[in-house]
């Protein structure tokens, strides 16, 4: 097995301008990490070297659930490296491009977490400077992780710029950043607003066909109204995003924390009404009184999810979150349902003849049918429709009946 310093290299995760990222294991702690290293060939490039060190310094001073965690950083075998938490999930770029159907309360929960992470970074004097969908990962349990602080500015540093290149991603950068002026926490706020705009409408706020036209729009034109693109959005939510994206930094929210508070209120309102209203709502009852009902709803929702009854799972979990909007377990289970629903919609549909054959085989394999014939039907189903949820449900039902019979 290949090694790097004290790490055992398991496989390669990706490669970019900054170097290479590997899945690696730290044998001392028996922990699997994402090992990011600046390649030896690029180590002599001063700008990339500075950017790598800048990312390490920025993340090293941050410790927050919504920001990727760095476990270790240093130099080994002549190369700079960072060992970070290994994350499973999809970034917002993929979720947007795949048109994943995410309920509005859960979309706002994602925006709220982004705001929380950025507000924390700003409180520690770190400005990200490259907030974009690809740098915002939603983990498998629905938790946001802000990535790639390679362009970050910390208060203790002088500004570092690339020669002849605008820092950041043009589609989401603020007007002041586009003009090469001083970048502050309000620049991150604008970029986050541009990301929120796209996540809520499916369209980028500035859609020029060239870099020049995108920059011109950022500086001189207002985005198309969000309610034109998505009339179902609450006016309050559109107003928050609009407030974050004002051209003049002084007219934006005074801080990301202010935007976070607005989003938190919206999130609670949308949870309590299951997405029907963004207006402030009274609590259902005292927390101690509703918690047993919340637990029951979550347990029921989890059971439905495990059995493939996704609609019923979503209904139970939404009921739990209407009673306790901040319940993390319920929100994580909802995200599992969202992913399962998207996977089911993305699965190739059976043609009519195959569907008829699958239905007939399911009937032959049902409990109570002759065992030999049922086994033959199950084998054919495994080949014909291995990912069909009805087959999974049938197998679970047969297993439960077999356990019950053995217990008698």
Q: Does residue 265 sit in the same domain as residue 359? A: no
150: Cβ contacts below 8 Å, ≥ 6 apart: 18, 51, 52, 54, 55, 130
pTM of the model: 0.79
**Percentage of the residues of the chain whose pLDDT score is greater than 70:** 88
Q: Does residue 106 sit in the same domain as residue 240? A: yes
Residue 159 predicted with pLDDT over 60:
no
Q: Domain holding 193: CATH number?
A: 1.10.510.10
For residues 357 and 364, what is the distance between their CA atoms, to the nearest angstrom?
11
The residue-averaged pLDDT of 363-378 equals: 87
Boundary of a domain, candidates 233, 248, 272: 272
For residues 43 and 48, what is the distance between their CA atoms, to the nearest angstrom?
7
Least confident among 32-41, 118-127, 286-295: 32-41
Residue 268 predicted with pLDDT over 60:
yes
Q: Domain holding 15: CATH number?
A: 3.30.200.20
Q: Which domain holds residue 8?
A: 3-85
Residue in 49, 57, 5 with CA at minimum distance from that of residue 27:
5
Residue 352 predicted with pLDDT over 80:
no
279 inside domain: no
281 inside domain: no
Q: Does residue 129 sit in the same domain as residue 60? A: no
Backbone angles phi and psi of 161, in degrees to 5: -125, 160
Place of tokens 């209203």: 277
Find which of 103-117, 164-178, 362-376 is predicted with most confidence, using mean pLDDT: 103-117
Q: Which two tokens stand for residue 325?
A: 């909007």
Q: Does residue 294 sit in the same domain as residue 261? A: no
Q: Which residue has the higher pLDDT, 254 or 278?
A: 254
Q: Does residue 136 sit in the same domain as residue 226? A: yes
Bridge partners of 81, per DSSP, are 37, 74
Residue 69 predicted with pLDDT over 80:
yes
For residues 333 and 351, what is the distance between their CA atoms, to the nearest angstrom?
32
277 inside domain: no
Residue 162 predicted with pLDDT over 50:
no
Q: How many domains does the chain have?
A: 4
Boundary of a domain, candidates 246, 272, 298: 272
Query: Is 130 noted as a catalytic residue in this protein?
Result: yes
| pLDDT at position 157 | 46
Residue 384 predicted with pLDDT over 70:
yes
The residue-averaged pLDDT of 32-36 equals: 92
Place of tokens 């760095």: 70
Residue 265 predicted with pLDDT over 60:
yes
The residue-averaged pLDDT of 134-155 equals: 83
The residue-averaged pLDDT of 12-22 equals: 76
| pLDDT at position 163 | 37
Q: Does residue 223 sit in the same domain as residue 364? A: no
Length of the chain: 408
Q: Does residue 115 sit in the same domain as residue 235? A: yes
Q: Does residue 112 sit in the same domain as residue 49? A: no
280 inside domain: no
| pLDDT at position 396 | 75
Residue in 257, 207, 189, 199 with CA at minimum distance from that of residue 233:
199
Q: Which two tokens stand for residue 404?
A: 């019950």
The residue-averaged pLDDT of 359-388 equals: 84
Confidence of residue 336 (pLDDT cuts 50, 70, 90): very high
Q: Does residue 222 sit in the same domain as residue 249? A: yes
For residues 179 and 280, what is the distance between their CA atoms, to the nearest angstrom?
39
Q: Does residue 44 sit in the same domain as residue 192? A: no
Q: Are 217 and 209 in contact (CB under 8 A)?
A: no
| pLDDT at position 167 | 54
Confidence of residue 45 (pLDDT cuts 50, 70, 90): low
- What are the pLDDT digits (tens) for 312-333? 999 999 999 999 999 999 999 9
| pLDDT at position 369 | 87
376 inside domain: yes
Task: Check 72, 91, 97, 130 and give the catalytic one.
Answer: 130
282 inside domain: no
Q: Which two tokens stand for residue 177?
A: 């950043």
| pLDDT at position 199 | 98
For residues 15 and 5, what is the distance between their CA atoms, to the nearest angstrom?
19
Boundary of a domain, candidates 28, 59, 85: 85
280 torsion bin: left (phi>0), alpha (psi -120 to 50), beta (else): beta
Q: Does residue 375 sit in the same domain as residue 235? A: no
Q: Does residue 302 sit in the same domain as residue 384? A: no
Q: Are 130 and 169 in contact (CB under 8 A)?
A: yes
């Amino acid at each position: 097995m290949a090694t790097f310093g004290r790490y055992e290299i398991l496989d390669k995760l990706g490669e970019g301008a900054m170097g290479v990222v590997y899945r690696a294991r730290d044998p001392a702690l028996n922990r699997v990490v994402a090992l990011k290293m600046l390649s030896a060939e690029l180590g002599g490039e001063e700008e990339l070297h500075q950017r790598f060190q800048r990312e390490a310094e920025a993340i090293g001073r941050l410790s927050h659930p919504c920001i990727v965690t760095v476990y270790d950083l240093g130099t080994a075998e002549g190369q700079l490296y960072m060992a970070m938490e290994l994350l499973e999930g999809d970034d917002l770029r993929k979720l947007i491009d795949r048109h994943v159907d995410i309920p509005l309360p859960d979309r706002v929960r994602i925006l709220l977490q982004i705001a929380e992470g950025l507000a924390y970074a700003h409180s520690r004097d770190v400005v990200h400077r490259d907030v974009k969908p690809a740098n915002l990962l939603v983990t498998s349990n629905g938790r946001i992780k802000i990535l790639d602080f390679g362009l970050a500015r910390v208060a203790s540093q002088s500004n570092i710029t690339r020669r002849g290149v605008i820092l950041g991603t043009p589609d989401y950068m603020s007007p002041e950043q586009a003009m090469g002026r001083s970048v502050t926490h309000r620049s991150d706020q604008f970029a986050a607003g541009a990301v929120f705009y796209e996540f809520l409408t499916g369209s980028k706020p500035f859609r020029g066909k060239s870099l020049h036209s995108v920059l011109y729009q950022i500086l001189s034109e207002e985005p198309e109204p969000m309610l034109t693109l998505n009339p179902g959005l609450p006016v309050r939510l559109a107003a928050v995003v609009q407030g974050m994206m004002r051209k003049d930094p002084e007219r934006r929210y005074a801080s990301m924390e202010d935007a976070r508070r607005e989003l938190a209120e919206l999130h609670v309102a949308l949870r309590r009404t299951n997405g029907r209203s963004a207006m402030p709502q009274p609590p259902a009852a005292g927390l101690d009184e509703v918690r047993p009902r919340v637990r029951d709803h979550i347990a029921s929702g989890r059971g439905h999810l495990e059995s493939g009854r996704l609609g019923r799972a979503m209904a139970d979990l939404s009921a739990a979150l209407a009673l306790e909007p901040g319940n993390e377990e319920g929100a994580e289970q909802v995200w599992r349902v969202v992913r399962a629903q998207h996977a089911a919609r993305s699965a190739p549909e059976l043609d009519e003849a195959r569907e008829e054959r699958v239905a007939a085989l399911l009937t032959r394999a049902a409990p109570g049918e002759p065992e030999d014939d049922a086994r033959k039907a199950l084998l054919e189903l495994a080949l014909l429709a291995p990912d069909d949820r009805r087959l999974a449900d049938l197998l679970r039902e047969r297993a439960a009946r077999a356990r019950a019979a053995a217990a008698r």
